Structure 1
Amino acid sequence: MPRPPADPPLSAGWAPRLPRGRTSAWRATTGAEKGEYCPILYRTDVLRLLYTETKWLSPTPDSVLFGWGAGSRRVVTIGVFEVTGSWERFIHANTHLDNASALARTEGAKVVLERIRAVQEMWGPLGMVLTGDFNSSPGQDGYKVLVDSGYMEEVFSVADAEGKVVGTNRNTFTRFTGSGGSFIDFIWIGPKAEKPFAVQRYEILTNVVSGMYISDHRAVIGDVLLA
């Protein structure tokens, strides 16, 4: 099997703040050190990275390209992890779909699905988690592609049906004003048919600290248990 790459340059900036973690992202959207990453941060005392890849959301995922009229280059980072001291393994993918082009979101979501399934072919069958900013509200373009695939389910929907949603925040994108927000950041789990994860808790956190917006997005927390 392919081996994980060496620590990426991004780790140097994050390491002092995350003494028990590092990132599995190893290529930015530019294909070099500078640019936007879709990193996966994890605790090295709990998890071991077995494999990782970064692919571009474009017709040729191995090439550094803009896809389908996108306003920015977009990527998906995928990692295969093993729980230390056990044989438990899972896949985690992280992505950021384009904000400018609905077609780029639709086709980009298809690339994400294709790459997750390809990693499943290499390492699976394994439980899968997908996280990210999808720039799609429920029922729209990229979100709809993932739901219609039947391959995964969105954690808020599962938690809401099971009474496991904490708090009242629902929008994840708030701008820096708190007005005109939308629900576009999601956690997905699968494969849906196997239900490898049990949802324990879901919460959308505040992004206001000491009266200031620390981000135009709210953090989404999903506690899931690998069965």
Structure 2
Amino acid sequence: MTYNIRLDTPADGENSWAHRRDFVIGQILVLRPAILGMQEVLPNQRADLTAVLTGYDFVGGGRDDGAVAGEASPIAVDRRLFRITASGTFWLSPTPEVPSLGWDAAYRRIASWVRLERRRDRARLLAINTHWDHEGQLARENSGLMLAEWIAANRQPGEEVLLMGDFNTTVSDIAIRALLTEATGLQDTREAAAMGSSGPAFSFNGFAPMPMNGALIDHLFASSGMRVIKHMVMAEHANGRAASDHFPVVALLDLSAEGQPHCRE
């Protein structure tokens, strides 16, 4: 599941975090995703989430210092299902090891990653969560190339890959097409879903509870060794309000242990 929960800012007025926090957390509790990537998470929002989502381990630092400062793109992992073996955060820029602005980006942008081992059968997964720039096309294109190279360099033998996040662009963009190659082995879960996709064909809603149209800019890309069963854009609203300015996007995947039959997540 990938979910841009929208940062906490008083400029949002009645759509500010205090008014929708319980709605966001409630959606997560109902869906209970095995792996959840979030974007625009400020420290106080992370504290609210971790206080309630006690069955999850959180990894991923803020974009201002790689630790706690600034917006984060954390990954929450259901500890009943997976064991974390490694994790980290890097910047989408020519200097990925230090806090930095990349190319023509308006803000610092990051990717957080976690290496997982499923407890029941030791199936292995490399999950990456990212938030691309909303203004810089060059930044998005270079972010795509950078992530493709990073996956190729860091993926271990027998390890599946899940890349998720708010990419601020559609799958037709050259920036994303650079990710969906033989070298990465990634597939768009919406296109690959055996049971198709449900919900609207867009994920950004601008806080409109029932928008008529928009862009699908939040994506989940899975390596071809995982079978994609279902893709969903969860267009929920309550009392005339959306929980965020993005709808959460969910994929149901089969992750198989090497040499063992597929197991559903």
TM class, shorter-chain normalised? 0.7 to 0.9
- Tell me how far 1:86 sits from its aligned partner: 2.5
Q: 1:155 aligns with which of 189, 208, 212?
A: 189
Note closer, same or farther for the CA distance 1:56–1:133 as it changes in structure 2 (3 Å cut): same
Q: Does 1:217 align with 2:252?
A: no
- Tell me how far 1:213 sits from its aligned partner: 1.8
State the alpha-carbon separation in 1 of the partners of residues 172 and 183 from structure 2: 14
TM-score by length of 1: 0.85
Aligned pairs for 1:1-227 (under 5 A) are 12-25=47-60, 27-31=61-65, 32-120=67-155, 123-148=156-181, 151=184, 152-159=186-193, 162=194, 164-177=195-208, 178=211, 181-190=214-223, 195-227=224-256
Contact 1:129 1:187 in 2 (8 A): yes
State the alpha-carbon separation in 2 of the partners of residues 141 and 101 from structure 1: 13
Q: Deviations over 1:47-79 (max 9, x none)?
A: 110011111000111011110110110001111
State the alpha-carbon separation in 2 of the partners of residues 180 and 65 from structure 1: 34
Q: Which amino acid is the alignment partner of residue 24 of structure 1? A: V
- Tell me how far 1:180 sits from its aligned partner: 5.4
State the alpha-carbon separation in 2 of the partners of residues 91 and 211 from structure 1: 38
State the alpha-carbon separation in 2 of the partners of residues 149 and 75 from structure 1: 24
- Tell me how far 1:144 sits from its aligned partner: 2.1
Count of residues in Structure 1 that have an aligned counterpart in Structure 2: 209
Contact 1:105 1:141 in 2 (8 A): no
| Identity among equivalent pairs (%) | 25
Further displaced range: 15-24 or 93-102: 15-24
State the alpha-carbon separation in 2 of the partners of residues 57 and 22 from structure 1: 24
Q: Which amino acid is the alignment partner of residue 196 of structure 1? A: G
Contact 1:207 1:219 in 2 (8 A): no
- SS state at 1:142 partner: helix
- Tell me how far 1:183 sits from its aligned partner: 1.0
TM superposition outliers: structure 1 runs of 4+ over 6 Å: none
Note closer, same or farther for the CA distance 1:114–1:82 as it changes in structure 2 (3 Å cut): same
Q: Which runs of 5+ in 2 are unaligned?
A: 1-42, 257-265
- Tell me how far 1:147 sits from its aligned partner: 2.6
Contact 1:97 1:109 in 2 (8 A): no
Note closer, same or farther for the CA distance 1:166–1:111 as it changes in structure 2 (3 Å cut): closer
Q: Which has the higher contact order (CA 8 A, sep 6+)?
A: 2
Match in the other structure for 1:4: none
- SS state at 2:112 partner: strand
State the alpha-carbon separation in 1 of the partners of residues 179 and 54 from structure 2: 34
Note closer, same or farther for the CA distance 1:209–1:142 as it changes in structure 2 (3 Å cut): farther
State the alpha-carbon separation in 2 of the partners of residues 149 and 142 from structure 1: 15
Match in the other structure for 2:12: none
Contact 2:87 2:114 in 1 (8 A): yes
Q: Which runs of 5+ in 1 are unaligned?
A: 1-8
